[in-house]
Chain A
Amino acid sequence: MKLTFIKMNITDTIANELVPSRDFPSFKAGDNITVYYTIKEGDKQRTQLFKGDVLQTKGTGATETFTVRKISHSVGVERIFPLNSPLIEKIEVNKKGRVRRAKIYYLRELTGKKARIKEVKS
């Protein structure tokens, strides 16, 4: 049997200590999610929703990010969120999508009926 020694990268160990990891439901590329994002304007605070398809998740640990794409007034809008950002209130997974890739950049080229993602039937 091959022995594997897991030696944690010091940078990651410390980064994970400095950035507390958030507890969100798991999602991946192809899923449709809603991100509840806090916006601060002066002393006022409000929550903004961003609902769309996940194009990719990128990185690990403290620096993990994910990209959400939505069509707003027939213009594609993409937003990249740091997963562990304290400004994310919660994430809701609306649909689990069936895609064959980890990064579904091809969705950018598609519009209308072609841009639909099949839902996983559980």
Chain B
Amino acid sequence: MPGLIGKKIGMTSIFSEEGKNIPCTILEVGPCMVTQIKTEEIDGYNAVQLGYDDKKESRVGKAALGHFKNAKSSPLKKLVEFGSDFDEALLGVTYNADLFQEGDFVSISGTSKGKGFQGVVKRHNFRGVGDATHGQHNRLRAPGSIGAASYPARVFKGMRMAGQTGNARVKVDNLQVVKVLVEKNMVVVKGAVPGAKNSYITIEK
């Protein structure tokens, strides 16, 4: 699916024609430049590599600089590969927010906000212990039993336990595009998008 790289700007709410309040996320989308076209013969698969967000030339290594030079593009901060079904994808071609139209449904992926090492109540929505008394000394948010006894005599793989929460790649499907501001390269979608403000996201049709 064709897609673009962007940045989360922030959330707000706008009114629909019926006067309903719609929660929205504002995203900057593009301009994205084609930096490489991967083909079956050379790379073993077809894909289009897009770049986004200008970078100072002095901060780019020589190898990367050569890569951008081949693509006739200025140095860019973020490179992402997409499927090959773009219209007329050529090196140096720029895609803008007008790739999307109002009413389109898009998938957006980003890196969710990191919450650190969290217990099972926050991480897996366990309920914890319902009682504060009746002998519950310090296990209000404990996970409870994690398995049986001498058979199977081990804890099954994939048992939900405490650990790092957030800061993982998350994809949200079927977000509706509410507005496209072409001259600003911004797209407004209904609902929330993973990640913090100013974090990179990819938006796919």
Number of interface residues of A (CB under 8 A): 17
Chain B residues closer than 8 Å to A86, beta-carbon distance: 15, 19
- Knowing A82-B21, A86-B19, A87-B19 touch, does A10 contact B14 (C-beta < 8 A)? no
A19: Cβ under 8 A from any B Cβ = yes
Query: Which 7 pairs of residues, A with B, have the shortest CB-CB distance?
Result: A11-B10, A15-B12, A87-B19, A18-B14, A86-B19, A10-B9, A19-B14
Whole-angstrom distance between the alpha carbons of A67 and B43 in the complex? 61
Q: Is the CB of B15 within 8 A of A19?
A: yes
Known contacts A14-B186, A62-B14; A85/B19 CB under 8 A? yes
Beta-carbon nearest neighbor of B11 in chain A:
A11
Interface residues in B, total, Cβ within 8 A: 17
A residues with a Cβ closer than 8 A to B are 9-12, 14-15, 18-19, 38, 40, 62-63, 82, 84-87
Name the CB-closest residue of A to B178: A18
B13 touches A62 (CB 8 A): yes
Contact residues in A for B179 (Cβ distance below 8 Å): 18
Instruction: Provide the bound-state CA to CA distance between A38 and B17, in Å.
Output: 13
In Å, the complex CA distance between A25 and B9 comes to: 32
Known: A38-B19, A40-B18, A87-B19. Is A14-B13 also a contact (CB below 8 A)? no
- A39, chain B: closest CB distance, angstroms: 10
| A residues in contact with B33, CB < 8 Å | none
Query: Nearest Cβ in chain B — how far from A60, in angstroms?
Result: 11
B-side interface residues toward A, CB under 8 Å? Answer: 9-15, 18-19, 21, 26, 179, 181, 184, 186, 188, 197
The verdict on A11 contacting B9 (CB below 8 Å), with A18-B179, A18-B188 known, is yes
**Chain B residues with CB under 8 A of A84:** 15
Q: A9-B10, A14-B9, A15-B14 are in contact. List 20 more A-B contacts (CB 8 A).
A: A10-B9, A11-B9, A11-B197, A14-B26, A14-B184, A14-B186, A18-B14, A18-B179, A19-B12, A19-B13, A19-B15, A38-B19, A62-B13, A63-B13, A82-B15, A84-B15, A85-B15, A85-B21, A86-B15, A87-B19
A86 to B21, CA, bound (A): 10
Between A and B, 12 residue pairs with Cβ closer than 8 Å are A10-B10, A11-B10, A11-B197, A14-B181, A14-B184, A15-B12, A15-B13, A18-B12, A40-B18, A63-B12, A63-B13, A82-B13
Q: How far is the CB of A38 from chain B (nearest CB, A)?
A: 7
The docked-state distance in angstroms from the alpha carbon of A12 to that of B9 is 10
**Assembly CA distance A40 to B179 (angstroms):** 24
Q: Chain B's nearest CB lies how many Å from the CB of A68?
A: 17
Q: Are A11 and B15 in contact (CB under 8 A)?
A: no
Chain B residues with CB under 8 A of A18: 12, 14, 179, 188
Most buried by B among A9, A11, A40, A82: A11
Q: Could you say which residues of chain A place their CB within 8 Å of the CB of B21?
A: 82, 85
